[in-house]
Structures are given as structure tokens and as C-alpha cells.
Amino acid sequence: MSTSLLPPLNALRAFEATARLGGVGRAAQALHVTHGAISRQLKLLEDHLGLALFQRAGRGLRLTAAGTRLQEACSDAFSGIEDCVRALQRPAASPALVLGCSGSVLARWMIPRLPALQAALPGVHLQWSALDGSFTETQATLDAVLLLAQGPWPRGWQVRELAPERVGVVVAPSHPAAHRLRHVPPSTLLQETLLHTSSRPQAWPAWAQAHDLDPAQLQLGTGFEHLYYLLEAAVAGLGPAIAPEPLVAEDLAAGRLVAPWGFAATGGFWVLARPDGPVDARVDVLADWAAAQLQ
């Protein structure tokens, strides 16, 4: 013999609908049953409780004190059950895709393209971290990192080469060097004071060697901790700088910068790297999108 005090659930449902809608007829319509079926369930419930839940009020019904208490309990209970079922039927949200890149790449290349990336990954919540360096332990805790790097690639990483890295000298048209450097060989740059960044100390020496110039003859002027600040200084007309092509493409198109000798490959690559582990299809979509953007 059951010791549960819980009344029959059909009776409670009929009572809740009658109390909420203010009548047996309306409850019958809402629950798609007959008027008689609702009446029988209400009587069953009152008999089970040994209490009157309604009293006649003209041609309608009015809740008794006991009925009011039970209505409040039923309303909360059925609402809670509906919320739970709705949550159970809702597809589970995928965890955020946590990505990393340098602050300069994030600010100058990725952020302006986030709407396009979100369109390529609909419904995916993206979380970005600005991290310098390449293949660090901190980066290994992320889902993937977008890097400018040169092989060989370290063990423990899956690396996809997206596009060759190309760098070049850029200068604002307002700076006197922009006029002096037109239609002259790269060796003319040895006469200019150059902006540089501590985050890429080999950028200028490598460029000089690629153009058969002695790096020791370069005149380095104001230095900046990050490439982002270096490029902002170049746009502000403070002097010639050196930059990866994608990070200044919009400035070149808008006329904020000019590149006297264009851009040349460094031997490095834009890569999307992820630590070894389970494959995440979202990272593959991201890689395809980034490769297309960098072409």
C-alpha cells in the first residue's frame, strides 16, 4: 500500500487549469478534454484531500482558502517542471572556442574580421587571448593559436600552414622619407632613422640581409614593445617601419601608409596550430577561413 500523500497528477492538472482559467469549461478546452472529465477530476481531488477547493459564486467558481494554497503550490510546481523539460530539450551549447594570437594580430587583423569569422562559424562562441611568442606552454592550453612562425614545427603540435609570411617597409605619406624613398634602391633606407619593435628584433636585420645590405649600417631610432604600437607610430608619421603585409593592407588601401619596395617572403608562415589531441571540427573551419582571408 502506497504511503504517498501526492494526489493523482491528472487531478492536480485539472485543478490548476480550472483555478488559473477561472472555470471548468475553459480548463476543459485548454486540456482538450470534456467538461465532465474536468468535473470528475476535481471531485476526485477534493475526495482525496477531504477538503473543498471551490465554492459556487453565482454562475462561476471561487477558490476556498485551501484551494488558494494548493493553486500557488501547483502553479510553482508545473512551471518548474515546464522549465526543466524545456531545458532538457534544448540542444546543449558547445563550449567556447578559445583561441590565441599576438596582441598586434588580434587588434590589427582579427578584430576587424570578427563579423566575417562569426558568419563562418555561426552559433560558435569565440574567446580570444592575446599571447606573444610561439608554441608556448600557455598557448598549449588553448584550442588553437594563430601564429607568424618558421619551421621546423615542434613536437606535440598540429600545424597548418595558411600562407607565406611577407614583410615590407612602410611609411606614412606625410613623412619626408616617403618622398625620398620613391624610385630609389633599398640601400637608400640606410640613411633613414627607423622605427623598430622589441617583439621582432630580427625583422630589420633579416630585411637588410635579404636586400644584400649590411644590418650593422641600419639606424634604429624609436623602439616599441609591441608591433601594434610600432605600426600606429608609422601611421602617425613618425618614420619608416617594417611590417607583415596583412597587418597593413587596409592602411595601404586607404593611403595611410605606402610600401616603397612592396613585400617579400621571409621563409616563415602564417600558421594555425593546435596541441595534439582530439580533432575539433570548428578549428578546421577556422583554418579554412583564415587561409582564404590571407590569400
Report pLDDT for 81: 87
pLDDT in tens, the chain (295 residues): 345 678 888 999 999 999 988 889 888 888 889 999 999 999 999 999 999 999 887 777 889 999 999 999 998 898 888 888 877 766 555 688 899 999 999 999 999 999 999 998 888 898 999 888 889 889 999 999 999 999 899 999 999 999 999 999 999 999 999 999 989 999 999 999 999 999 889 999 999 999 999 999 999 999 999 999 999 999 999 999 999 999 999 999 999 999 999 999 999 999 999 999 888 899 999 999 999 999 8
d(CA 26, CA 28): 5
Grid cell listed for 183: 624610385
- In DSSP notation, the chain reads -----PPPHHHHHHHHHHHHHTSHHHHHHHHTS-HHHHHHHHHHHHHHHTS--EEEETTEEEE-HHHHHHHHHHHHHHHHHHHHHHHHHSPPPPPPEEEEE-HHHIIIIIGGGHHHHHHHSTTPPEEEEE--SSS-TTGGGSSEEEEEE-SSPPTTEEEEEEEEEEEEEEB-TTSHHHHHTTTS-GGGGGGSEEEEETTSTTHHHHHHHHTT--GGG-EEEEEESSHHHHHHHHHTTS--EEEEHHHHHHHHHHTS-B-TT--EEEEEEEEEEEESSS--HHHHHHHHHHHHHH-
The DSSP code sequence of 32-66 is TS-HHHHHHHHHHHHHHHTS--EEEETTEEEE-HH
pTM above 0.75, yes or no: no
